[in-house]
Amino acid sequence: MFYISRLIRPRWGILFLFVFVQANSFWLYSETPKKIACLLPAKISIYNQAISGLKNSLDAKKVSYQIRTYALPTTESDFGQTAQNVRGDKPDLVVCLGTYALNLAREHIKDIPSIYCMIIDTSSDYIGYGGVVVDIEPMEKISFIQEKFPQFKKIGIFYNSADNSLIVQKLKKTAKKNGIQLVMHEAISIRGIQGAVKALSQKSDCLLMVPNSLLSSPKVARQFILDTIHNKLPIIAFSRNYVSAGAFAGIYTSYENNGFLAGNMAYKVLSGQNPKNLPVLWTSEIKIALNMAVAKHLGIRISPGTVAMADYVVK
């Protein structure tokens, strides 16, 4: 009997272990999906790229989730119904794509945890709220210019303080630390752009663009680029699209990467962390774009090594 008992017990143990694992697997896969509400402006494809990155991040972490997108109204007065719809769905997290979405959510949906991405700049009002800036750390840009284009000794900065307070602050700190001369010029309206370009062309070797709302219109952006070419002022832009339109070079990132970093934050919030304890991040993926035709027109030599490392080249 003892011999038989020893034969049977291991089999029962294996059977128990099998049932236990299957039960827990069922519990894991039947977990209620986390609800995520994504607020974004309508009909802008770059935000869909960010959402794709958000999904990739959550999928990599095996998170069970459901995403519902809410196209924002053009005026804040009409946002009340959207906010009511969001609350009615009872999401576990709100992801705000863009500054407009973040401002509306902070004003009208204060009772649901939220993070942000695709933000042009983070002013002091946003510090303390976890999210991702749609730009690269200023130090990375300065280092690129110093290494690849050492002939650019004076770097012009065209900015709008309403959008670029944090970026300008970081650029000034970086320039002082590394002995770089920055030529700052603020434009507070579209009318002031042409004058800003002319002034910077007289004092700067190149113009480092920072994202701001004054250049959000394609028509205004095109005129801005034409003005810089006319004044022989090479632009180092923050988007590949500007390089295609006539900017000399671009240091930029993918919007999918921006969403991926936001997905990492979303995972932390869904796991119980307070969004206000999360940091403000700059996009981590760096890409290079070059416009060889513009470089030739401006008389700028680009080394073969720099051309080889570029992710996008206009010939």
Q: What is the pLDDT of residues 118-130, one digit of tens each?
A: 987 655 555 567 8
Interatomic CA distance for residues 256 and 142, integer angstroms: 24
Comparing CA positions, the residue from 212, 162, 91, 102 lying closest to residue 224 is 212
Q: Residue range 136-149: average pLDDT?
A: 86
Q: Environment class of residue 186 by beta-carbon count within 10 Å: exposed (0-12), middle (13-18) or buried (19+)?
A: middle
pLDDT at 100: 87
What architecture (CATH level 2) is domain 136-253+286-314?
A: 3-Layer(aba) Sandwich (3.40)
Q: Could you tell me the residue ranges of all domains in the chain? A: 34-134+256-283, 136-253+286-314
**φ and ψ at 146, to 5 degrees?**
-60, -40
Q: Which residue has the higher pLDDT, 145 or 264?
A: 264
Show Cβ contacts of residue 281 under 8 Å, excluding neighbours closer than 6 positions: 131, 132, 133, 261, 265
pTM of this prediction?
Answer: 0.80
Q: Which residue has the higher pLDDT, 138 or 258?
A: 258
Mean of the per-residue pLDDT values of the chain? 85
Q: How confident is the model at residue 309 (pLDDT cuts 50, 70, 90)?
A: very high
Q: How confident is the model at residue 22 (pLDDT cuts 50, 70, 90)?
A: very low
pLDDT at 128: 60
pLDDT at 219: 87
Place of tokens 């700049």: 121
Interatomic CA distance for residues 226 and 257, integer angstroms: 30
Q: What is the percentage of the chain residues whose pLDDT exceeds 90? A: 51
Q: Which residue has the higher pLDDT, 222 or 289?
A: 289
Count CB-CB contacts under 10 A for residue 70: 19
Q: Which residue has the higher pLDDT, 116 or 106?
A: 116
Interatomic CA distance for residues 86 and 34, integer angstroms: 14
Q: Residue range 274-298: average pLDDT?
A: 92
Q: Which residue has the higher pLDDT, 2 or 112?
A: 112
pLDDT exceeds cutoff 50 at 95:
yes
pLDDT exceeds cutoff 80 at 222:
yes
Strand 280-283 to 287-291 pairing: unpaired
Give the torsion through C-alpha atoms of 50, 56, 58, 63, to 10 deg.
Answer: 140
pLDDT exceeds cutoff 60 at 286:
yes
Place of tokens 């290079």: 288
Q: Which residue has the higher pLDDT, 112 or 211?
A: 112
Is the fold of 34-134+256-283 the same as that of 136-253+286-314? yes
Q: How confident is the model at residue 28 (pLDDT cuts 50, 70, 90)?
A: very low
34-134+256-283 in CATH: which number? 3.40.50.2300
Comparing CA positions, the residue from 259, 260, 216 lying closest to residue 239 is 216
Show Cβ contacts of residue 271 under 8 Å, excluding neighbours closer than 6 positions: none
Q: Which residue has the higher pLDDT, 137 or 250?
A: 250
Interatomic CA distance for residues 121 and 101, integer angstroms: 13
Place of tokens 């949906």: 109
pLDDT exceeds cutoff 50 at 19:
no
Show Cβ contacts of residue 311 under 8 Å, excluding neighbours closer than 6 positions: 287, 288, 289
